[in-house]
A and B are shown apart, each in its own frame.
Chain A
Amino acid sequence: MISDTMWFKKEKGIEVTTIKREVPNGLWVKCEECGEILYKKELAKNLWICEFCNYHFKISARKYIEILTDEFKELDIDIQTANPLQFEGYLDKIKTASEKTGQKEAILIGEGKIGDYKIALGVMDFRFVGGSMGSVVGELVTKAIEFALSNKIPLIIINASGGARMQEGILSLMQMAKTSAALSELADAHIPYISILTNPTTAGVMASYASLGDVVIAEPKALLGFAGPRVIQQTIKQELPEGFQKAEFCLEHGLIDAVVSRDKLKKTLIGIFDFFGVGKEEIKQEINN
């Protein structure tokens, strides 16, 4: 339940572009997909979507929250990562990731507002040890689910993960069952859950809560799947088809409901909430009257 996406850098041969271009200084950035040089300020304004190829850059959890919500308040849950297996170097890795991202773990959870809707929100951050899921991520996801349940508001999880976290061994695997069990309670209560899949969402996260949304939406070109491409290639010993495991491929195979660009996501979500009719303050008042 750990995919290779978070562990291996792209092999040279798979690199899409071979055109070498100089990136002058911090003001410019090269598109990882098409190789175009993009003006950073423009790119940020464009929500980190390449204007040439529609590639969606990986962005931090906080940036995503900023893009998507009108209001957001982080839920302060008093837990932190331990080292249950006494795995060598694990806590150092966590410390480095914390310093790099300014986050305690690979997911931020909180309550927020999108349009007129109150929501429970969880946003994963791939920069934090590949968005891997250990006990804390599992518990925070569960807390977000429980928050949605007790407040009867929709749940949104923005996924980005290479899967379960190896350093917590079997406990990481059990987070798949834990979060799925929590989601069975949410489903029972008829509270909507929208899962957003960003690049990449694979392995243990994809094979649990990321796939269990009432509606599952992916960002364009996101890599989505159970096993990582390298593992599959090593197993079957043949080339993988063009576009394999990309969001568009998954859409074609009926594995997800829609591919939606980051800039259209908020509007799409509001439309879905309107349909489900859960979480809008006004509606509640109407019923009370």
Chain B
Amino acid sequence: MIWLDFERPIVELREKLESLRLTASEGGNVKEDIKKLEDEINTSSQKIYSNLTSWQRVQLARHPNRPYTSDYIKLMFSEFFELHGDGCFRDDPAIIAGMGKIDNKPVVLIGHEKGRSTKERMYRNFGMANPEGYRKAMRVMKLGEKFKRPVISLIDTAGAYPGIGAEERGQAQAIAYNLREMSALKVPIIAIVTGEGGSGGALGIAVADVVLMQEYAFYSVISPEGCASILWRDANKSAEAAKALRITAKDLLELGVIDEIVPEPTGGAHCNPEETAKTLKRTILEKLEPLLSTPPEILVKNRVKKFKAMGIYAHSKV
């Protein structure tokens, strides 16, 4: 288990609990002490996780043990067949795309994949997609449209990859194309930010009828580090930047950008991936139902209307 700095108090209590349990196993009478400590751990956890700062949430969203798309496929899908082709340049392992069944319903799934081991993270480019990733995603979405299958999109990326090849092959063009085509896709789309919602690289697969965020996920136009280095020329002020940018699920709900927050277990998704996936699956199915019975033209009309309404400005005349 990897613990974050702000989780220190819980770790210390847990260590105490371990040694008490050891005492108990050796015949010591510490039953009451254990009970007391367990309560204390619960209280402390509740207190810490319900008062997280924006920056602490960023750390949880980036937690190396956080469930990724491949985990959710295993935990939520009864069948899955991956489709690797962008039909153009190469398979981009930073995005997984394919068809599968969730609760016996055929759907198309696309999602960022960061990879778990160091080797796999390199292979997946840490979940930072190149243009071919966005093109593969769109190709599979169009497949969903052709055969009337809804699209589920899981978003978890630091951003689209900024590299020479990415520019040469049209990173901006690939994302722009996805934004327009997703707006007009004639099947339901549900997008869930499951970890990092890193700017255009996230949005490139996140135009949807229903946009959800997991409790500790964040979604931002720029990374807190990037913002801090622009504003204060100091990447160490990321915590302040995270707060100023208003990037938490609650912030986005208030700003009218997302529709709902999907709860996570105390401590974050990685503490209990099974429970997290169960909640997510239930939410997806619940959101999918009314969309599946909506005529495609109405679906598209509402989606376009939803995104066209985004933004906050003032009026000068009353």
Residues of chain A contacted by B312 (CB below 8 angstroms): 82, 84, 135, 168, 171
Q: Are A170 and B221 neighbours in the complex by a CB distance under 8 Å?
A: yes
Residue of B nearest to A85 (CB): B246
Closest Cβ–Cβ distance, residue A257 to chain B (whole Å): 12
Q: Does A235 contact B (CB under 8 A)?
A: yes
Residues of chain A contacted by B230 (CB below 8 angstroms): 2, 7, 166
Residues of chain A contacted by B180 (CB below 8 angstroms): 180-181, 183-184, 187, 212
Q: Does A174 contact B (CB under 8 A)?
A: yes
**Which one, B22-30, B96-104, B168-176, is touching chain A?**
B168-176
Residues of chain A contacted by B257 (CB below 8 angstroms): 170-171, 174
Residue of A nearest to B240 (CB): A88
Q: Does A79 contact B (CB under 8 A)?
A: yes
Q: Are B167 and A171 neighbours in the complex by a CB distance under 8 Å?
A: no
Q: Are B183 and A85 neighbours in the complex by a CB distance under 8 Å?
A: no
For window 266-318 of chain B, which residues contact chain A by CB distance below 8 Å? 303-304, 307-308, 310-317
A22–B222 alpha-carbon span in the complex (Å): 40
Residues of chain B contacted by A260 (CB below 8 angstroms): none
Residues of chain B contacted by A175 (CB below 8 angstroms): 310-311
Q: Are A78 and B315 neighbours in the complex by a CB distance under 8 Å?
A: yes
Residues of chain B contacted by A88 (CB below 8 angstroms): 244
Closest Cβ–Cβ distance, residue B214 to chain A (whole Å): 16
Q: Does B17 contact A (CB under 8 A)?
A: no
Choice from A135, A166, A188, A236 contacting B313 with Cβ under 8 Å: A135
Q: Are B313 and A177 neighbours in the complex by a CB distance under 8 Å?
A: no
Choice from A166, A177, A180 contacting B227 with Cβ under 8 Å: A166
For window 203-261 of chain A, which residues contact chain B by CB distance below 8 Å? 203-204, 206-212, 224-227, 231-232, 235-236, 240-241, 244-245, 253-255
Q: Are B307 and A207 neighbours in the complex by a CB distance under 8 Å?
A: no
Q: Are A173 and B316 neighbours in the complex by a CB distance under 8 Å?
A: no
For window 156-184 of chain A, which residues contact chain B by CB distance below 8 Å? 164, 166, 168-178, 180-184
Q: Are A176 and B164 neighbours in the complex by a CB distance under 8 Å?
A: no
Q: Does B203 contact A (CB under 8 A)?
A: yes
A183–B183 alpha-carbon span in the complex (Å): 9
Residue of A nearest to B223 (CB): A2
Q: Are A170 and B313 neighbours in the complex by a CB distance under 8 Å?
A: no
Q: Are B307 and A139 neighbours in the complex by a CB distance under 8 Å?
A: no
Q: Are A212 and B177 neighbours in the complex by a CB distance under 8 Å?
A: yes
Given contacts A142-B308, A177-B183, A231-B162, contact A208 B176 (CB under 8 A): yes
- Which one of A84, A134, A202 has the greatest number of beta carbons of chain B within 10 Å? A84
Q: Are B183 and A232 neighbours in the complex by a CB distance under 8 Å?
A: no
How many residues belonging to B are interface residues under a CB distance threshold of 8 Å? 55
For chains A and B in complex, what number of residue pairs have CB atoms within 8 angstroms?
201
- Which one of B166, B183, B226 has the greatest number of beta carbons of chain A within 10 Å? B183
Q: Are A180 and B310 neighbours in the complex by a CB distance under 8 Å?
A: no
Closest Cβ–Cβ distance, residue A228 to chain B (whole Å): 8
Q: Are A171 and B203 neighbours in the complex by a CB distance under 8 Å?
A: no
Residues of chain B contacted by A169 (CB below 8 angstroms): 220-221, 245-247, 255
Residues of chain A contacted by B251 (CB below 8 angstroms): 170
Q: Does B163 contact A (CB under 8 A)?
A: yes
Choice from B162, B173, B221, B308 contacting A255 with Cβ under 8 Å: B173
A81–B181 alpha-carbon span in the complex (Å): 29
A155–B160 alpha-carbon span in the complex (Å): 29
A195–B163 alpha-carbon span in the complex (Å): 24
Residue of B nearest to A174 (CB): B310
Choice from B177, B244, B245, B314 contacting A79 with Cβ under 8 Å: B314
Q: Are A1 and B162 neighbours in the complex by a CB distance under 8 Å?
A: no
A176–B200 alpha-carbon span in the complex (Å): 8
For window 53-73 of chain B, which residues contact chain A by CB distance below 8 Å? none
Q: Does B140 contact A (CB under 8 A)?
A: no
Q: Does A185 contact B (CB under 8 A)?
A: yes
Can you pick out 21 interface pairs between chain A and chain B where the beta carbons lie within 8 Å of each other? A80-B315, A85-B244, A85-B245, A135-B313, A142-B308, A169-B220, A169-B245, A170-B220, A170-B257, A171-B255, A178-B310, A181-B183, A204-B199, A204-B221, A211-B177, A224-B172, A225-B167, A225-B172, A226-B162, A227-B171, A232-B162
Q: Which 5 A-B pairs have the closest CB atoms?
A: A135-B311, A227-B162, A180-B179, A211-B176, A226-B171
Q: Given contacts A1-B199, A202-B172, A226-B200, could you give 11 more A-B pairs where the C-beta distance is less than 8 Å?
A: A169-B220, A169-B221, A169-B246, A170-B255, A171-B311, A181-B207, A204-B200, A207-B179, A208-B176, A211-B173, A255-B173
What residues make up the interface of B, taking CB atoms closer than 8 Å to A? 160-164, 166-173, 175-177, 179-181, 183-184, 199-200, 203-204, 206-207, 219-222, 226-227, 230-231, 244-247, 251-252, 255, 257, 303-304, 307-308, 310-317
